[in-house]
Structure 1
Amino acid sequence: MKIKVGDFYYGAALAQIAAHPVLSHVHSVAGKEGYYQINGDKRLLIKYATADRGTWRFTVRPDDLTDVSWSADYIVWFALVCGEETICLLNDEEVRELVDVEASGSQWISVSSSNGTSMKVAGTTGRLKHRIRHNAFPHKLLTDGPEPNKYSWPPLSRLQFYTTWPHIVRSTVDPFFDLSDALTGDIGFGDEKTVYMGLCTYSPDWSVWDNSTLKKVEKHIRYDLNFDGFDVAIERASPEVIEQGSGLFVQRCSDEFLWKLTITVRE
């Protein structure tokens, strides 16, 4: 298959996401070129301009703004690849300052930067009052923004499930992953099911597996299963402290912590 010009520019953005030291899960969104789903809860539209340097101008079409104007399920971002120089990252609020998200015709966004200074951004309907830093992409995309809702798993998490350690039977980065839907379909009255669940998170807000962070995850596990009529006994299967050299240390949240879940139908 012939390589499209746009693929080189999309690749420039996706390579930086893949190289960032946090968990990233990327899928293309069907029906729109340069549109990707990141870590289950974010949508990223990548646009590019081929000018060498100075000022880059991008065309924004009505279908580029569909999710910005109505989606409540995703945090929407724009990544504007400026030639071979830099990538300008805009969140949905910034996009709204630059263009009319309800417009029926094409609009524009321009990015300018000189001598390595932060980027100035203007659009059809206005100009951003603040500048965009070059190092905002991809860090801000992967770490900023509110959690989708209070019942989601920690940001930038990976959940893995085992029936017999260490054989993985399921792995997901979905922040809305439902334990009841996934684990309880074969449990009837009087039955008991044991599952090992591992979780790690690369969120900067989650640093170590201390009693506070462990209890937050365990509260989520209980809520998820109790809500659908199941009881669960939770046992911490990983050590809460590990020995390194001459000292004992708590584990980092970027390392998987393992729980043993014993699930039964609530009587």
Structure 2
Amino acid sequence: MGGRRLLAKYASASSSAWGFTFRPEDVRTLVADHASAGFFSYLCLICGSDSIRVLRSDEAFDLLSTDVRQKSQTIRVRRSYGCCLRVSGSEGQLDRTVPANRFPSFLAKN
């Protein structure tokens, strides 16, 4: 039977850029969940009191290395034009912005 996990990270930094640290244990959890049939993980990035962005585990793997032997890794969220937020990480950048309206409706649909 399938399940869901929401891994939440909070950053209280500036109003235009936020950094989120992922320990090897966090990455290990995402990798294990991704390997389990019917189990889905989501990253909830809480950008101070400004915004909440949700990423699917496959998007997280575009940003983080799945090599759990690595030390801590980082995902960065920065404000682009208007309310769009760009997301990048230790392994690269998403090729699209992450819309604000993904949370909380995205979790209910998927």
TM-score range, shorter chain: 0.7 to 0.9
Mapped contact 1:78–1:89 kept (Cα < 8 A): yes
Q: Secondary structure at the match of 2:93?
A: coil
Q: Could you report, residue by residue, the CA deviation over 1:79-113 in whole angstroms, capped at 9, with x for unpaired residues?
A: 01001100111100000000102232100000011
User: What is the aligned length?
Assistant: 105
Residue 105 of structure 2 is aligned to residue 139 of structure 1: yes
Aligned to 2:87: 121
* Bigger relative contact order (CA 8 A; separation at least 6): 2
Aligned to 1:45: 7
Residue 75 of structure 2 is aligned to residue 109 of structure 1: yes
Mapped contact 2:13–2:48 kept (Cα < 8 A): yes
Q: Could you report, residue by residue, the CA deviation over 1:17-61 in whole angstroms, capped at 9, with x for unpaired residues?
A: xxxxxxxxxxxxxxxxxxxxxxx7210000000113000001011
In the TM superposition, residue 117 of structure 1 has moved relative to its aligned partner by 2.2
TM-score, normalised with respect to structure 2? 0.87
Which residue of 3, 11, 20 maps to 1:58? Answer: 20
Larger Rg: 1
Displacement over 3 Å in runs of 4+: none
Gaps of 5+ in 2: none
Aligned to 1:100: 65
Taking every aligned residue pair, what percent have the same amino acid on both sides? 33
Q: Secondary structure at the match of 1:70?
A: helix
The 5 A counterparts of 1:14-25 are: none
The 5 A counterparts of 1:1-12 are: none
2:53 and 2:66 mapped to 1: Cα distance?
19
Aligned to 1:180: none
Q: Secondary structure at the match of 2:92?
A: coil
1:122 and 1:53 mapped to 2: Cα distance?
17
Q: Secondary structure at the match of 2:107?
A: helix
Mapped contact 2:75–2:88 kept (Cα < 8 A): yes
Q: 1:115 to 1:127 in 2, by over 3 A?
A: closer
**Larger % of strand: which?**
2
Aligned to 1:87: 52
Partner amino acid, structure 2, of 1:77: Y
